[in-house]
Every structure is written in C-alpha cells, then in structure tokens.
Structure 1
Amino acid sequence: MKRFSALLAAVCSVLPFTAAHAQNSVTLYGVVDDGISYIHNSGGQSSQWKMSAGNLSGDRWGIKGSEDLGGGLAAIFRLESGFDINSGQPANNNRLFGRLAIVGLASKQYGTLSLGRQYDPVTDVVQPITADNYSGVFAPPGDIDNYDDSARFDNAVKWTSPNWSGATLEAMYALGGVAGSVASGQTWSAGASFNAGSLTAAAGFLHVDNGNARTATRGTTTADSFFNSSVNLAYASASGINITRVGAQYVAGSITAGGAYSYTQYSSDAASAFRGSEHFQNGSVFLNWMSTPNFQVVGGYNYTRSGGNSSATYHQANLGIDYILTKRTDVYLGGGYTHASGNNGQGPAEAVVGSFDVDSGARSQLLTFAGMRHRF
C-alpha cells in the first residue's frame, strides 16, 4: 500500500508539469471489467456460478508517457498493472507491473525500440484482426497458441517499424540471462502485417526455449507459462515451443469477417516427461456485425486438433453481444461451448472454453457470462 501511494503521489506531481509543457505527456489510464459467469462442467462438477472479472478486457491500471527529444525522436515509457476487481489482489503472478513494463525510443522515421516486459510480435500483429478483440472466449481451448496473450515476455528488446504504406514489421529478442548458456530460456519472434483498405493480413513466428535442463530448471524462461489447462499440460516439460500464426480480416460496411490458422509445436529432450514431439493445429473463423453504432454481435468457430505424442480434437463455438452505453462504458453477454474427443497425453481429453482455462472434467463444457466494462 505504501508503494502504491508513493507511486500515485509521483504521478500527481508530474501531471501539472505536463500541462505546462505540451511536448511532454504522462497519462493515467485503466479498465475495470466485471460480471457473473455460469459454467456447465467445471472441475468434474455439473455446474458453477461465480463472479468473473475481465471477461472482455483484463482489469488494469497504467501510466504511460513520452518526452519529445527533437528531430522526430521521443523517449517513451509504459507501466501497466493487472488486478482482480473482485478481490483487489494483483494479477500476473502478483507482479506490480505484470501486464507491461517498458522504456524506449520512438522515431517517426525509424520506428520504436522498447525494452522490458512486453508482448511478442505475433500477438501484436495477428491478435487485432481476430475475434479476440471481443473476448478470450474466442481463443482456442487452453489458448495453446497464445491467441489471447496468456504469455508475456521478460527481458525483451523489441523493434516495431513505422507504417510503410500499410506494411508494419516487428522483431523481438528476450535474453534468458542464464550463466553458461546463452540460449537457455531465450525467446525470439518476428511478425508482419499489411493493410490495404478493407483487407488486413498478418503473420508471425515465435520460438521459446523452455530452459536448458543442464544449466537451469526446466521451465525457467523469459516467457510466462503456456501450460494453463489440461489441453496441453502433459507437455509442460517441453524443451522448446514454436508457434506460427497467420490471420486475415475483411471489412464490408457493418460486417467484419476473418479467419486465422496456427501451428504450435512442443519439442522434447532427455529431460522431458514425453518423447518425440507434440503439435496442435487450430483454424478459426469469425463474423462481427455492427448493427448500429452502439450494438454489435460476434460469432465464431474454432477447430483444434493435436497430433504426435497424443491425439485430441476440440470443436468450439462462440457468441457475444456488446451494447455501448458511452465511449467509456459498455455492457455485454457472451459464451462458448467446447466438445473434446481423443487423448490429451494424460488421459481422456477434457473440454476447455477459450483462455478461461477451466478444466471441465468432462468431454463438453458450456461457459456463459454477463457483465459491464468501463474504461478511464
């Protein structure tokens, strides 16, 4: 509490300075999102009602700012903290700024160079053109391809290009920092997007070293965990993770349609609990209808299939409704249904809806929610 109070006092002391010097800026912002959800098949139980925070957007508060250095160059920073609105507890493994923490330079001519804890390029370029803009309920079961940015990355250096006639490039490298092994725990990624009016397309690749077992504990890495549900938990001892994602969307008046494909691979070594490799392929489509400026309906479908060490198939259908009350506030309904078959490497595959990561203990799961979101 003392640390939080001191931080707010520092922000308040800066804000008057911001008004006096237009070339510099500091902004306090955030999102509060809460609701009630119903889950049919949760942890082996037939039903569950609970408070459900962050259904559309993770609850957060943050500070961002810039300083004009002249010549089209600016110093930038951004600190963003996640929290659970229903308990007041910090999110992201109890980190103060677990969502984002960067400092860097932004140039109109050369792009932006940022250092710190941040999102990977695949998330940056592909996610905005998928239904994930509505909710993580549209992510593949267990978010196996980081569709809903379940994983963020520490110790990362990232470059983002300027917009070159609709094209944008990104590249990132995260240092593992393990003595005696440069590669242990490292992450590298690259992505590109292109916008041509109504059509936007993007693609990217992400590689994560899951820790060299000879020099560090397996799982000691720059990435947050990718293994948050029964969908892929059997492969948490993988030596490396590779994810390729492509996506596209087309806007025609009040209708936006899009699709994405991902290939996720977990490789093994002598320290892994499984042998060979395991891969997941996911294909998704969505349709968004903005029937009025204040009302939208979005529907989607995910098909996920694993292969290699084991084999499982997941079918997932999703639906969401959002009513915009003001520029800052909206109310919503949403949900998804998943059916699973096959084996997940530990036993019979369990249904899991999107990135909510609730193991069903059954072959099917229905998850619905209703809530309210406010931005400031």
Structure 2
Amino acid sequence: MNSYKVILVAAGSFAACSPAFSQSSVTLYGELDESIQYVHNTGGQHSQISLQGGQIGTNKWGLKGAEDLGGGLQAVFRLENGFDINNGKAKQGGALFGRYAYVGMKSDSYGTILAGRQYDTLMDLVYPVQPNNYLYYFTTPGDVDNSDGNARINSQVKWLSPVWSGFRVAAAYSFGGVAGSMGSGQTYSFATSYTAGPLMLAAGYSHADQGNPTLSTRGTSTYGSLFLSPVNEAYSTAKAINIARAGAKYSIGPVTLGGYYSYSEYLPDAYSKFRIAERYNNGSIYANWNITPFVLVQVGYDLLKSHGDSSATYNQVTLTGDYLLSKRTDVYASASYGHASGHNGLGVAQAVIADSFPAAGNASQTLVFLGMRHRF
C-alpha cells in the first residue's frame, strides 16, 4: 500500500471513530457611509462644507459567529471595529475593536449571556422604539442620555431573556476593577420591552460610577464618555450618571409613529468642579413613512431642557429621506435645525444637533447633507 492510500485509510478511520462535530459559522460584515455636508454656524464660523462619514450609518467592519452545541445551546462571539472613512483611523479612542468585543452563550430556553465590551441594556431594548433606530439626527442634543449609544461599557456581563409572550427583559453589570472598592467605576443597567403586533413599549435604567478619586482618578470608569459637546461638558467631573429612558412606537400600515422620554442626572461630590446636580429632561417624537418599499421619509422633533447647576433649552427638528438602490446600497439626504437658549454651565448655551460631528454653533445651527451607504 503506497503512502497516499495509507493517509486515506487513516483519515477514514479517524472520522469513523470521532464524535460528530457541531455546526459553526463565522460572518465577516461591515458598512461604509460617506456624505458631503454643509453646516451653518459651527466652531465660531459662519459656514463649513466638508466630507463626513457615518451620517445615517456607521463605518465599521466586524466578525461574528456561533457554534451549535446541541440542545438549543450556542456559543457566540462578536468583534467589531469602527473607523473614519476619510482618514482610515480607528474610532472609539483608537481601540482595535472599540464597538464590540464579547463572547457568550445563547440558549433557546434561558436567553443569552454575554461578557466583554458592549452596549448597555437600554440600547438592546429601548433603542428599537427610538427615531435613530431608523435614521439619524432625531435624538437628544449632545447625547447626554446615551440615547445614541456613544458610551459603550467595558468588562460587562449581560443577560438578555428570550421573548415571553411579547415581553423581554435584560440586566447587565460591569465590574469596576478598582482594588479596594468594588463600586468605583462600576456600571449597571436593566431594561424591558413588550411587543404586541404593531405596538412596542420599552423602558430602562442605567447607572455609571465615574471613579472614586481616593482610590483611582475621576473618570476611571467602565462607562464610556458622554462628554461630546458643550451641552454637558461642564459636568465631566460628575461622581455618577443616572439615566432613565422610556418610549413607544406604533405602526399603521406604512407609517410608524413613536417617541421617547429620558431623564438624566449628573451628580457631584467633593471632587467635582460643580456643586449642584445637573438634570436633563428630553422628549422626542417622530413619524416614519415608507412611501414605497424603497423610499423612507422621516420627520422628528426633539426638546431638551436642563436645570440644576445651569438651565438651558434646546429645540431641534430634522427631516430625512432614504432611497434603496439595492438591498445593500442606499442614498440619503437630511436637513436639521437646532436652537439653544439659557446657560450650559460653561456660558451661553450653544446649539448642538443630536450627536452630530460639527462643532457646536452659536444660538442656532443648520446641518444639511447628502450621502451614500453600502453594507456587506
């Protein structure tokens, strides 16, 4: 028997004696989003025209996979990188997998447990009723309530239940990892949702400790930063951030109506640079119309009011249209206007449209853009 036949016989014998291998899959996916935008009032200047990525989508690529372990149980993982399409640099502070990095187990009967870097539970269950689940620039100015998920959570263990008669619940805890203080830098959240035909209701709560300065430094937290703009920049030394969000949506044929409310508070201690808690009340309403299977139009209005250490009011309105060229490619156009009044803790309040890329304007700001998105 020559060596080739020996190898075949050995391989066949191994296969016959070995247990059956489980089924597994790994998917490479991503999204590219680029636009040309015009901004009136930004960074102290009258106008700006520039290329900007990630306007209604996200520039990202990732790997996700699952292995069937039998009995309705799977091992799952996800790694996802965010990047700037105009210079190729990694986003999320330069992290290799700054958007997602987790591993876990999924059970048909008991739900899913995930461990690693991921969103809080409000993004899992409340986000689907929000306007930015469809298109962008309809949410809270400055993202002070994390309604757009700018703050991801490190070292988090999360449980997501299966769907029970339309209900779903989720809970998560993130270990601060500070020696001598379990609470320093910790994050926890919980949320629930209910779906019945065209109606969906959802609510959730999250708490983020910003670090105990006697054992670490202020800002040492498993919770990512929400200090993206002058809306809440004066409160970056907060001891803790508490956020509650609740919303609903209802579909009537091709039209979906919805909205959400959020309450956020930034709490001080002796190490903070402010002394009175700053609180934010935000309300957002929207309407989507699928004119055809290929055309979506969305309009929305957002009102944010702050009080406590400082008091300001932010009004924002957005109109966006999206046209599908194929299942994976679409083009879009959007126009937003924002206006601010009062004080933000640093001085006169400045208009900020959702968590947009342009710098804050003066009392008003206009954002218009035209773009293209491709998913793979």
Post-superposition offset of 1:136:
3.5
- Per the alignment, residue 4 of structure 2 pairs with none
Distance, in Å, in 2 between the alignment partners of 1:133 and 1:373 is: 16
- SS of 2:180's partner is coil
Give the ranges of 4+ consecutive aligned residues of structure 1 lying more than 4 Å apart after TM superposition. Answer: none
Post-superposition CA distance 1:338-376 (Å, at most 9, x none): 100000001000000011153334100011111000110
- SS of 2:226's partner is coil
RMSD: 1.2
Distance, in Å, in 2 between the alignment partners of 1:301 and 1:174 is: 34
Whether contact under 8 Å (1:278, 1:310) holds in the other structure is yes
User: How many residues in Structure 1 have an aligned counterpart in Structure 2?
Assistant: 357
5 Å matches for 1:17-56? 23-56=23-56
Whether contact under 8 Å (1:310, 1:343) holds in the other structure is yes
- SS of 2:314's partner is strand
- Per the alignment, residue 347 of structure 2 pairs with 347
Q: Does 1:246 align with 2:239?
A: no
Distance, in Å, in 2 between the alignment partners of 1:305 and 1:357 is: 21
Aligned amino acid, residue 67 of structure 1: E
- SS of 1:164's partner is coil
- SS of 1:345's partner is coil
Distance, in Å, in 1 between the alignment partners of 2:253 and 2:136 is: 25
- Per the alignment, residue 4 of structure 1 pairs with none
Post-superposition offset of 1:216:
1.0
Distance, in Å, in 1 between the alignment partners of 2:374 and 2:166 is: 31
- Per the alignment, residue 5 of structure 1 pairs with none
- Per the alignment, residue 69 of structure 1 pairs with 69
- SS of 1:355's partner is coil
Distance, in Å, in 1 between the alignment partners of 2:324 and 2:284 is: 26
Post-superposition offset of 1:55:
0.5
- Per the alignment, residue 86 of structure 2 pairs with 86
- Per the alignment, residue 158 of structure 2 pairs with 158
- Which ranges in structure 2 are unaligned for 5 or more consecutive residues? 1-19
Post-superposition CA distance 1:110-167 (Å, at most 9, x none): 0000000001001111111111023331121101111111110000000000011111
- Per the alignment, residue 17 of structure 2 pairs with none
- SS of 1:148's partner is coil
Distance, in Å, in 1 between the alignment partners of 2:47 and 2:310 is: 29
- Per the alignment, residue 173 of structure 2 pairs with 173
Whether contact under 8 Å (1:267, 1:276) holds in the other structure is yes
Distance, in Å, in 2 between the alignment partners of 1:271 and 1:357 is: 30
- SS of 2:94's partner is coil
- Which ranges in structure 1 are unaligned for 5 or more consecutive residues? 1-19
Aligned amino acid, residue 291 of structure 2: S
Post-superposition offset of 1:247:
0.5
Distance, in Å, in 1 between the alignment partners of 2:291 and 2:361 is: 38
- Per the alignment, residue 206 of structure 2 pairs with 206
- SS of 1:132's partner is helix
Whether contact under 8 Å (1:151, 1:225) holds in the other structure is yes
- SS of 2:327's partner is coil
Distance, in Å, in 1 between the alignment partners of 2:58 and 2:320 is: 17
Distance, in Å, in 2 between the alignment partners of 1:54 and 1:361 is: 20
Whether contact under 8 Å (2:324, 2:331) holds in the other structure is yes
- SS of 1:137's partner is coil
- SS of 1:136's partner is coil
Post-superposition offset of 1:21:
7.1
TM-score (norm 1): 0.93
Distance, in Å, in 1 between the alignment partners of 2:357 and 2:308 is: 23
- Per the alignment, residue 304 of structure 1 pairs with 304
- The 1:42/1:255 distance shift into structure 2, 3 A limit, reads same
Post-superposition offset of 1:271:
0.1
- Per the alignment, residue 95 of structure 2 pairs with 95
Whether contact under 8 Å (2:22, 2:67) holds in the other structure is no
Post-superposition offset of 1:212:
0.7
Whether contact under 8 Å (1:313, 1:342) holds in the other structure is yes
- SS of 1:149's partner is coil
Which one has the largest radius of gyration? Answer: 2
Distance, in Å, in 2 between the alignment partners of 1:65 and 1:289 is: 34
Distance, in Å, in 2 between the alignment partners of 1:210 and 1:170 is: 23
Distance, in Å, in 2 between the alignment partners of 1:273 and 1:171 is: 32
5 Å matches for 1:185-204? 185-204=185-204
Distance, in Å, in 2 between the alignment partners of 1:116 and 1:45 is: 41
Identity of aligned residues (%): 52
Distance, in Å, in 2 between the alignment partners of 1:335 and 1:125 is: 28
Distance, in Å, in 2 between the alignment partners of 1:133 and 1:111 is: 23
